[in-house]
């Protein structure tokens, strides 16, 4: 309307009033129509999801529903999280702002605490007339950025506490997953002949379907964000998803007993998240039978999550909302299933950072694009696709030009961070370095993915790659905001490097 008023002011002073009224009607109508025709947005986040999907070329995974979405949407083959852990990755995702050594650091990170004055993706949409709803694990802490939602953020059972002092997870993991009366974490998997709704994700799917029925007829567009917890540990899934697979299909990764040649110590960890579960040895590799069972369990949990996604997508179609709704499916980061001796995330290898990203927008054709993108790009992409004003000061880039086009790229690299380390991914290389508080490099590694896709040999000290190392290192330096280390970074570095008060 501001532009309409500007055009009216530019008309001659003696312009007939009746014609002015006609001009106003003509110019105003398209604006009103555009506002009323804004697409709904459905964002589905699947926790700890690596690209273990048939749509991404996995030969074992049974994921028909996500594959169906991928066939009609834009599939990004190389999408990377900003931080390889739940709380921090989601804070970065929903703010569109990159992590630093002072913010978005670990599973307890909250956007409203680390960057309290930042706009949030759902908050921005709410300000522009969208009805915003959060179901399941969206922000890691349910109460994070509460003003972003038109309704209180919802989780099944409503009680998100833990008496587990070992890792102080508090409100970011549902009690039903980790707590028992003895305060000891139970098994890392569960295989029971139960209904989908006996686990929280089944309840999240049901609530989301009810919301679609309600929101689809209220007259204003909606932004509905749905967070499924599986395949996050423990790998709990009903029996029927386990029985989809033949256990003989599963093999150990080629790097199960090996860390990369020439890699520094910084990226290798002891898989502490997994070690806390009953029956898991505290050190060293898992026995092969146990490891293969966990790989099977992870796939079962992925198939269970896929079934919940399918229920939501089916409801969207059956309610007649499919043609007016943008659908996004993504993981919050990757995961390791024994590669390089590690389980979980918490490192700067490709496996911990790469995750699925699929965007289906009305009027756009399906496509696959291998160019590197970042999950930070989601915020500007959705404002573009819905016609909202572009929000300034974001660190992401809109992926809208890439939808339906497999040849276009909008960025040359994606940068991820984990405490004192930063990693840059291009189409061919992954370069990572670790720096002290003064900014001096203390360790580095480079993988040439064109010949070493499994990241088995660090070539950072190979003279043939000197120019590449210099170029990628400089890009990390440019991306650094010169933030002082958070105390959490110091604690992490001391613990990882075995520094004690007496040795300092």
- Whether 146 is in a domain gets the answer yes
Question: Quick one: angle between helices 288-318 and 64-72, nearest 10?
Answer: 50
- Where residue 468 sits, what CATH number does that domain have? 3.30.1120
- Whether 413 is in a domain gets the answer no
Residues sharing a CB contact under 8 Å with residue 42, sequence separation 6 or more, in sequence order: 224, 226, 312, 316, 325, 326, 327, 328
DSSP state of 459: -
For the segment 325-332, the average pLDDT, to the nearest whole number, is 98
- Whether 229 is in a domain gets the answer yes
Given a cut of 50, whether residue 416 has pLDDT beyond it is yes
Query: What's the pLDDT score for residue 439?
Result: 92
Count structural domains, the chain: 3
**Are the beta carbons of 302 and 230 closer than 8 angstroms?**
yes
Query: What is the per-residue burial (b if ≥16 Cβ within 10 Å, else e) of 367-398?
Result: bebebbbbbbbbbbbbbbbbebeebeebbbbb
- Whether 409 is in a domain gets the answer no
- Whether 408 is in a domain gets the answer no
Confidence of residue 346 (pLDDT cuts 50, 70, 90): very high
For the segment 237-246, the average pLDDT, to the nearest whole number, is 96
Confidence of residue 169 (pLDDT cuts 50, 70, 90): very low
**Are the beta carbons of 358 and 70 closer than 8 angstroms?**
yes
**Residue 371 and residue 272 share a domain:** yes
Residue 111 token pair: 């956007």
CB atoms within 10 A of CB 289: 9
**What is residue 475's three-state secondary structure?**
helix
Helices (H), 338-465: 350-353, 378-386
Residues sharing a CB contact under 8 Å with residue 363, sequence separation 6 or more, in sequence order: none
Residue whose tokens read 């040439």: 448
Query: What's the pLDDT score for residue 276?
Result: 83
**What is residue 343's three-state secondary structure?**
strand
Given a cut of 50, whether residue 324 has pLDDT beyond it is yes
Query: What's the pLDDT score for residue 88?
Result: 97
* Backbone torsions φ then ψ of 186, nearest 5 degrees: -80, -160
For the segment 144-162, the average pLDDT, to the nearest whole number, is 77
**Are the beta carbons of 103 and 120 closer than 8 angstroms?**
no
CA-nearest of 365, 354, 364, 366 to 53 is: 354
Compute, in degrees rounded to 10, the torsion defined by CA atoms 481, 486, 490, 491: -140
**Residue 430 and residue 334 share a domain:** no
**Residue 285 and residue 391 share a domain:** yes
Query: What's the pLDDT score for residue 278?
Result: 84
% of residues, the chain, pLDDT over 90: 78
For the segment 303-320, the average pLDDT, to the nearest whole number, is 98
For the segment 130-153, the average pLDDT, to the nearest whole number, is 95
Given a cut of 90, whether residue 283 has pLDDT beyond it is yes
**Are the beta carbons of 244 and 215 closer than 8 angstroms?**
no
Residue whose tokens read 């997953």: 177
**Residue 311 and residue 283 share a domain:** yes
How far is 361 from 324, CA to CA, in rounded Å?
Answer: 8
**Residue 347 and residue 485 share a domain:** no
**Residue 294 and residue 149 share a domain:** yes
Query: What's the pLDDT score for residue 494?
Result: 95
Give the angle 472-478-479 at the CA atoms, nearest 5°.
90
Considering only 1-10, 225-234, 456-465, which range has the smallest mean pLDDT?
Answer: 1-10
**What is residue 43's three-state secondary structure?**
strand
Range of the domain at 20: 2-33
**Residue 129 and residue 269 share a domain:** yes
**Are the beta carbons of 398 and 410 closer than 8 angstroms?**
yes
Check residues 313 and 4 and name the one with the higher pLDDT: 313
Residues sharing a CB contact under 8 Å with residue 182, sequence separation 6 or more, in sequence order: none
Q: Which of 396, 413, 445 is the last residue of a domain?
A: 396
E strand map for 307-391: 325-331, 336-337, 343-344, 354-360, 367-374
**Residue 133 and residue 11 share a domain:** no
Q: Which of 363, 396, 429 is the last residue of a domain?
A: 396
Query: What's the pLDDT score for residue 398?
Result: 98
Query: What's the pLDDT score for residue 16?
Result: 53
CB atoms within 10 A of CB 320: 10
**Residue 478 and residue 342 share a domain:** no
**Residue 188 and residue 69 share a domain:** yes
For the segment 169-186, the average pLDDT, to the nearest whole number, is 43
- Whether 412 is in a domain gets the answer no
Considering only 178-192, 380-394, 426-440, 454-468, which range has the smallest mean pLDDT?
Answer: 178-192
For the segment 314-319, the average pLDDT, to the nearest whole number, is 98
**Residue 437 and residue 384 share a domain:** no
Q: Cis peptide leading into 234, omega within 30 of 0?
A: yes
**Are the beta carbons of 27 and 20 closer than 8 angstroms?**
no
pLDDT digits (tens, 9 = 90+) for 20-75: 444 444 444 333 334 446 999 999 999 999 998 999 999 999 999 999 999 999 99
How far is 380 from 42, CA to CA, in rounded Å?
Answer: 15
Mean pLDDT score across all residues of the chain: 88
CB atoms within 10 A of CB 305: 28
For the segment 169-185, the average pLDDT, to the nearest whole number, is 41
Query: What's the pLDDT score for residue 500?
Result: 57
- Whether 148 is in a domain gets the answer yes
Kindly calculate the radius of gyration of the chain based on its CA atoms and give it in whole angstroms: 24
- Whether 401 is in a domain gets the answer no
How far is 211 from 456, CA to CA, in rounded Å?
Answer: 47
Confidence of residue 392 (pLDDT cuts 50, 70, 90): confident
Given a cut of 50, whether residue 84 has pLDDT beyond it is yes
In order, the DSSP letters of 280-294 are: --SSSPPPHHHHHHH
Query: What's the pLDDT score for residue 5?
Result: 43
Query: What's the pLDDT score for residue 179?
Result: 44
Considering only 72-81, 119-128, 152-161, 280-289, which range has the smallest mean pLDDT?
Answer: 152-161
- Where residue 77 sits, what CATH number does that domain have? 3.40.720.10
Confidence of residue 372 (pLDDT cuts 50, 70, 90): very high
Confidence of residue 156 (pLDDT cuts 50, 70, 90): confident
Given a cut of 60, whether residue 111 has pLDDT beyond it is yes
Compute, in degrees rounded to 10, the torsion defined by CA atoms 107, 108, 109, 110: 130
**Whole-model pTM?**
0.88
CA-nearest of 428, 375, 371, 427 to 403 is: 371
How far is 335 from 312, CA to CA, in rounded Å?
Answer: 25
Given a cut of 60, whether residue 181 has pLDDT beyond it is no
* Backbone torsions φ then ψ of 80, nearest 5 degrees: -130, 140
**Residue 239 and residue 115 share a domain:** yes
């Amino acid at each position: 309307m501001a532009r309409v008023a500007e055009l009216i002011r530019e008309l001659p002073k003696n312009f007939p009033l009746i014609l002015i009224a006609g001009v106003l009607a003509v110019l105003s109508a398209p604006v009103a129509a555009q506002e009323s025709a804004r697409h709904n947005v459905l964002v589905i986040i699947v926790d700890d999801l690596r690209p273990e999907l048939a749509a991404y070329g996995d030969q074992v995974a049974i994921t028909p529903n996500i594959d169906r979405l991928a066939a009609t949407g834009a599939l990004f083959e190389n999408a990377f999280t900003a931080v390889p852990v739940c709380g921090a990755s989601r804070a970065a995702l929903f703010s569109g702002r990159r992590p630093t050594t002072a913010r978005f650091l670990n599973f307890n990170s909250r956007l409203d605490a680390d960057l309290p004055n930042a706009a949030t993706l759902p908050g921005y949409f709410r300000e522009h007339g969208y009805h915003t709803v959060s179901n399941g694990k969206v922000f890691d802490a349910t109460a994070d950025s509460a003003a972003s939602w038109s309704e209180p953020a919802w989780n099944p059972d409503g009680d998100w506490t833990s008496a587990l002092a070992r890792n102080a997870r508090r409100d970011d993991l549902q009690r039903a997953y980790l707590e028992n009366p003895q305060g000891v974490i139970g098994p890392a998997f569960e295989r029971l002949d139960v209904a989908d709704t006996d686990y929280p994700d089944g309840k999240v799917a049901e609530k989301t379907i009810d919301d679609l029925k309600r929101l689809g007829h209220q007259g204003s567009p909606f932004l509905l964000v749905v967070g499924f917890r599986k395949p996050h540990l423990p790998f709990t899934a009903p029996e029927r998803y386990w029985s989809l697979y033949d256990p003989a299909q599963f093999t150990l990764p080629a790097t199960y007993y090996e860390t990369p040649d020439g890699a520094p110590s910084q990226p290798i960890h002891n898989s502490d998240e997994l070690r806390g579960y009953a029956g898991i040895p505290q050190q060293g590799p898992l026995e092969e039978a146990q490891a293969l069972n966990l790989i099977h369990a992870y796939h079962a949990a992925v198939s269970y999550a896929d079934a919940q996604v399918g229920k939501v997508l089916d409801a969207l179609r059956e309610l007649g909302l499919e043609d007016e709704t943008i659908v996004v499916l993504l993981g919050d980061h990757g995961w390791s299933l024994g590669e390089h001796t590690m389980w979980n995330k918490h490192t700067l290898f490709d496996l911990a950072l790469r995750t699925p990203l699929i965007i289906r927008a009305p009027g756009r054709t399906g496509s696959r694009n291998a160019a590197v993108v970042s999950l930070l790009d989601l915020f500007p992409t959705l404002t573009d696709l819905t016609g909202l004003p572009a929000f300034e000061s974001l660190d992401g880039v809109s992926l809208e030009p890439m939808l339906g086009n497999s040849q276009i790229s909008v960025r040359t690299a994606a940068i991820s961070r984990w405490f004192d380390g930063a990693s840059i991914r291009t189409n061919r290389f992954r370069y990572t370095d670790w720096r002290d508080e003064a900014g001096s490099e203390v360790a580095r590694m480079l993988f040439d993915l064109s010949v070493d896709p499994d990241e088995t040999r660090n070539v950072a000290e190979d003279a043939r790659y000197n120019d590449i190392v210099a170029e990628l290192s400089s890009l990390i330096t440019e991306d650094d905001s010169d933030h002082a280390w958070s105390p959490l970074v110091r604690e992490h570095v001391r613990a990882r490097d075995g520094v004690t008060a007496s040795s300092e």
